[in-house]
Amino acid sequence: MTGSVFDHERDAAWLSAFADGELDDQQEAAVKAHLAVCAACREEMVGLSRFDLVMASLRLKEAPPEAWEAIEARLSHRAARRAGWLLLTAGAAATFAWGAWLGVAALLGASGTPWWVKAAILAACVGGLLLLVSALRERLYARRRSRYEDIVR
Amino acid sequence: MTAPPPEHDGPNRSAPGRVDERLAAQERQLDGRDIERFLAGDQAGFEALVRRHWRRAYGIALGLTGSGDDAMDATQKAFLRVWKALPDFRCGEPFFPWLYRIVRNCALNQRRDEKRHRGEMPLEWVDRDDGRPNALDVAERVELGGRVWEEIQRLPLEQREVVMLFYFQGLKYREIAAALDIPLGTVMSRLHAARLRLRDRLTSGGAR
């Protein structure tokens, strides 16, 4: 609110808001008082009302009857697909981890493997683990801090 | 415009299409309940949420894309994004502004993706409640409706959104402000500017 006296330059938008019943009491009183003495603004109000009469006679077409079925089908397919991807990812990750563990254990246990190769394997394993933990932590942190990152305002 | 000039008689507190306060509060309560159900693992909560909002989401997408097909695609994509993002929704906040931003992004992306279907006219005339014939004949209605739609589409996006939400979604200024995340005064000035522009263009015979 910018005051109780109507100013043409500053408060022009109040005329629309007045017609829509969106002003507070003070603003509304200011517009009423102004309309009582300003023929140009009264004419503007009539023009706006005429325009609103046309707009009130128009509406957006309703969604077609088959729209709900299409939305429902797409969402249910996506839900099933997501469950499939989750199972596939979990299964593949477990299988890979088990295979990797067997391979690393065999290499580390083999008597012919040089010590520096064993050290390199251990370093790679520890490094991979650190990267994984770091990435998971970052993701969890981003999830907590930026919940609306998917939404562009 | 050929509609008869109405006398100005003060603010219109019950404009057609306005959202009833009590119903809006009830809707917010239902939204909160269904979101909690969904987050607790009950898919029926999500379905109820979609059932409650899909028509409105379609209307928003239709207003922004101008095409029924694009609006359908955008609505579907929007609800898929809602489904994915809902676990991150801040419970207790109103759902519609959040949904609006998702639908808006999907619709604007869809509009960029799909340049077909131009020339559709997604507006229709509402019959008078009192049963009296409209002052315009069918041809005039089609012509005027087409011009209104064309001029709405020519508005800058920021004004077009406010016009669509106010006239065709029946939102109040503060609800529009929440949906667009802008101050109330900005809603007021954008809507007024859009009105003047539309009115001037329509009364001047659709100047290009």
Instruction: Provide the residue type at B26 as one letter.
Output: Q
Comparing A40-44, B47-51, B162-166, B202-206, the range with the smallest average pLDDT is B202-206
Mean local confidence (pLDDT), B100-128: 77
Q: How confident is the model at residue B6 (pLDDT cuts 50, 70, 90)?
A: very low
Q: How many CB atoms lie within 10 A of CB A87?
A: 10
The pLDDT value given to residue A66: 82
Report, as an integer, the average pLDDT of A117-121: 87
pLDDT, average across residues B41-52 = 89
Identify the pLDDT of residue B128: 59
- Nearest Cα of chain B lies from the Cα of A107 at a distance, in angstroms, of 42
Q: Which residues of B touch A58 (CB under 8 A)?
A: 123-126, 145, 148, 167-168
Whole-number pLDDT of residue B207: 42
User: What pLDDT is recorded for position B111?
Assistant: 72
pLDDT tens for B92-105 read: 788 988 999 999 99
* pLDDT exceeds cutoff 70 at B112: no
Question: Which residues 122-151 of A have a C-beta within 8 angstroms of B?
Answer: 143, 147-148, 150-151
pLDDT of A145 reads 55
The torsion region of residue B206 among left (phi > 0), alpha (psi -120 to 50) and beta comes to: left
More confident residue, B51 or B125: B51
For residue B75, what are its two tokens? Answer: 């609505």
What is the model's pLDDT at position B173?
93
Answer whether residue A26 shows pLDDT above 80. Answer: yes
User: Is some CB atom of chain B closer than 8 A to the CB atom of A152?
Assistant: yes
A11 and B187 in contact (C-beta within 8 Å)? no
As a whole-number percent, the residues of chain B with pLDDT over 70 amount to 79
**Chosen from B7, B104, B195 to mutate, greatest number of chain A CBs within 10 A:** B195
**Can you give the pLDDT at residue A103?**
86
Angle B167-B177-A20 (CA atoms, 0-180°, nearest 5)?
45
d(CA B169, CA B59): 8
Nearest residue, CB atoms, B76 vs list A42, A56, A70: A70
Average pLDDT of the segment spanning B145-150? 88
B190 confidence band (pLDDT: 50, 70, 90): very high
For B156-175, what is the mean pLDDT?
92
Domains and CATH numbers, chain B: 20-116 (1.10.1740.10), 135-208 (1.10.10.10)
Tell me what the mean pLDDT of segment B8-17 comes to: 50
Q: How far is B204 from chain A (nearest CA, A)?
A: 13
pLDDT of residue B78: 93
How much is the mean pLDDT over chain B?
81
Q: Residue B28: what pLDDT?
A: 84
Q: Search chain B and give the residue with CA nearest A74.
A: B76
The residue-averaged pLDDT of A54-73 equals: 84
Residues of B in contact with A14 (CB under 8 A): 188
With a cut of 70, say whether residue B67 has pLDDT above it.
Answer: yes
- pLDDT value, residue A152: 42
- Cβ atoms of residues A132 and A126 within 8 Å: no
The region of weakest confidence among B5-19, B27-41, B127-141, B194-208 is B5-19
Average pLDDT over residues A62-74: 82
Interface of A with B in 27-66 (CB under 8 A): 28, 32, 35, 42, 45-64
Q: Is the pLDDT of residue B38 over 50?
A: yes
Q: Which residue of B has its CA nearest to A145?
A: B88
End-to-end CA distance of chain B: give it in Å, rounded.
Answer: 16
List of chain B residues whose C-beta atoms are within 8 Å of the C-beta of residue A23: 11
Nearest CA in chain A to B146: A58
Burial B190-200 (b: 16+ CB within 10 A, else e): bbbbbbbbbbe
pLDDT of residue B132: 56
Nearest chain B residue to A31 by CA distance is B10
Determine, for residues B12 and A55 on separate chains, whether the beta-carbon distance falls below 8 Å.
no
The predicted pLDDT at position B3 comes to 44
Instruction: Tell me A61's DSSP state.
Output: P
Whether residue A74 and residue B76 make contact (CB cut-off 8 A), yes or no, is yes
Mean pLDDT of chain A, nearest integer: 83
